Amino acid sequence: MEQQYFLTIDNGGTNTKVVIFDQAGTQVAAQAFPTRGLEPHAGFHEIDLAQLYQDLGTNTKKALAEAGLTGDQISGVATVGHGKGLYTLDKNLKPLRNGILSADSRATELAEEFEGRVSEIFPISHQHVMPSQAPVILRWLKDNDPSWYQEIGAVLSNKDFIGYLLTNEVKQELGDASGNNFLNLPEKRYDQRLFDFFGIEEVLDCMPTLMRATEQRGIITPAAATVTGLAAGTPVFGGMFDIDACSIATGVLDDSMFSIIAGTWNMNIFPSETMASEETGLMNSIFPTGKWLVEASSPTSAGNLAIMLKMLMTSEIDNAKADGHSIYDDLEVFLQTTDARFSKVLFFPFLYGSNADPDAEGTFIGIRSNTTKSELIRAVYEGIAFAHRYHVDKLLAVRGQKPTVVRMSGGGTNSKQWVQIFANILGIPVELVSATELGGLGGAMASAVGLGVYPDLNAAVDQMVTVSARFEPQEEQVAIYDQKYQSYVTMLEALNGSWRQFKSMQERIDL
């Protein structure tokens, strides 16, 4: 087979990457840059779209140079991106204002109100309501920023906006749309009743044509070629919602395995032949293979670690940098030399929101006069894994038994010691695959299938995915973590319903 290369732009809430793979799944280049989030007000998480395009162009050229390739050697391009959030075009189909990231929480109260009536739409969308879903944000804009709302000519997800920048085609991939409360899920189409429910009935006219992940979106335009270094005319494919891309890139194609993504968001998923019911609290969306994706998620993962390190370890971060290494190198040694007994503190990783009570906020429980900073840091690592287990337990209740293995992806996998903590807290073996940029690999698979290199995604997985490491649960550690997790859940449930009063107090003080 002639050597082919596939380039993926993987736009995450924390970092954005441009990655190149060959048809065997070998990663030949990767360039990353911070997703330059803006926070104009508390709870608002936005991104400058012009700056994003400029950064994408610069790093695409860098990735090509790293791989020693020219733009015309790239066979296909795909886009992968964070789900939810909102990216808008104006009436002339030009970028409109800032993009809104998936960590945005401005519409929390609206989401709570809609979720209280979710039984009205669950039989249609098979989705619960979250603050960062586009329909909720659109309603917030209609109520609070009508000038923006009235300018909207098209509504896109993150990766479909990137696809628009590359091709000038306004299209929406099914997976993203279905995970955003926009689709009649059984019929795989927009449904006026959903837009009426959210009070944004006029937005239906702004929704793009739907497409599949492996379908060609368009081609690189001459303008995009100038910005990115890619060749004009290169095919661009639909691409995937990041959780779909990571699941496929780790070889999770059915419910025998779970996929966990420990990144900005806490994602826990498995492909299924059936959808989860409303009472489970789980989300359903369209998986690129044709199955349903059952999802339990919240913004309670590795993004919390980055914030807590900035709060607690400023001097250590500076010292590590001065010594020519990363604070994460020091923390890896720390995790290796401590274990489940080390910290008696519990951490709730709710800095961006909760997977329990919508008003919950981040907190430590169990601090004493002799508690050390090191105990707090270890508690953060553990608390994030506990938040994942809280979701996984809900998936297990639907599936009925544990999967054979969990395939893990996201920034959390950069720490092998943290992956071992996950295995011990979940009580399930955890495997990693050889590719480090899994969203990028999922996008490459979409291109490979779209170009006919492989007949379908299952065949692409067989040829492009390799397991590189396995972490077995350690019996003694599992027993300790089971005790800690039970306390975590007990305290979490005890606080549920009390956070609203706490939030009201905070709001009164701000007046």
- What's the confidence (pLDDT) of residue 434? 93
Measured CA to CA in angstroms, residue 157 lies from 160, 182, 210, 340, 363 at distances of: 5, 11, 12, 40, 32
Give me the pLDDT at residue 410, please.
Answer: 86
Identify the bridge partners of residue 20 per DSSP, sorted by sequence position: 7, 29
Pairing of the two strands 74-81 and 86-90: unpaired
Q: Measuring CA to CA, which residue among 87, 101, 86, 128 is closest to residue 40?
A: 101
pLDDT digits (tens, 9 = 90+) for 375-422: 999 999 999 999 999 999 999 999 999 999 999 998 899 999 999 999
pLDDT exceeds cutoff 90 at 358: no
DSSP state letters, 332-355: HHHHHT--TTS---EEE--SS--S
pLDDT digits (tens, 9 = 90+) for 111-127: 999 999 999 999 999 99
Sign of the Cα torsion 420, 422, 426, 431 reads negative
Q: What is the mean predicted confidence (pLDDT) over 234-253? A: 95
Confidence of residue 64 (pLDDT cuts 50, 70, 90): very high
What SS3 class is residue 428? coil
pLDDT classification of 12: cutoffs 50, 70, 90 = confident
Q: What is the pLDDT of residue 15?
A: 86
- Per-residue model confidence (pLDDT) at position 430: 98
| pLDDT at residue 31, rounded to an integer | 97
Give me 452's structure tokens: 């006919």
Q: Counting beta carbons within 10 angstroms of the beta carbon of residue 476, is it exposed (0 to 12), middle (13 to 18) or buried (19 or more)? A: exposed
Q: Which residues pair with 9 in a beta bridge?
A: 18, 79
pTM recorded for the entire structure:
0.89
**In terms of C-beta distances under 8 Å and separation of at least 24 residues, what long-range contacts does 216-219 make, across chains too?**
216/450, 217/163, 217/167, 217/169, 217/171, 218/163, 218/166, 218/167, 218/168, 218/169, 218/171, 219/167
Give the per-residue pLDDT at 1: 61
| Per-residue pLDDT, 507 | 84
pLDDT tens for residues 159-189?
Answer: 999 999 999 999 999 999 999 999 999 999 9
How many Å separate Cα 281 from the centre of its chain? 18
Per-residue model confidence as pLDDT tens digits over 15-40? 899 999 999 999 999 999 988 889 99
Structure confidence at residue 500 as a pLDDT band (50, 70, 90): confident
The pLDDT score that the predictor gives to residue 103 is 85
Q: Phi, psi at residue 137, to the nearest 5°?
A: -65, -40
Nearest CA-CA partner of 225 in 238, 236, 237, 234: 234
Q: How far apart are CA 159 and CA 351, in angstroms?
A: 25
Average the pLDDT over 57-75 and give the result. 98
Q: How far apart are CA 416 and CA 456, in angstroms?
A: 32
Q: Which of 133, 108, 294 is nearest to 203 (CA)?
A: 133
Residue 472 has what pLDDT?
98
Residue 388 carries which side chain, given as an amino acid letter? H
Q: How many CB atoms lie within 10 A of CB 428?
A: 23
Q: What is the rounded distance in angstroms from the CA atom of residue 183 to the CA atom of residue 175?
A: 10
Nearest CA among 232, 213, 460, 502 for reference residue 350: 502
Asked if the model's pLDDT at residue 511 lies above 80, the reply is: no
Cα(447)–Cα(134) distance, integer angstroms:
27
Would you state the pLDDT for residue 305? 95
pLDDT tens digit sequence for 263-283: 878 999 999 999 999 999 999
Whole-number percent of the chain with pLDDT over 90:
90
CATH 3.30.420.40 is held by the domain 302-431+469-510: yes
Report which of 152, 147, 159, 82 is spatially closest to residue 446, judged by C-alpha positions: 159
Banded pLDDT at 354 (limits 50, 70, 90): confident
Give the rounded percent of residues in the chain with a pLDDT score beyond 70.
100
Average pLDDT, the chain: 95
Nearest to 7 by CA among 115, 162, 119: 162
CA angle 178, 180, 185 (to 5 degrees): 30
Distances (CA, A) of 468 to 67, 111, 431, 494: 22, 41, 8, 41
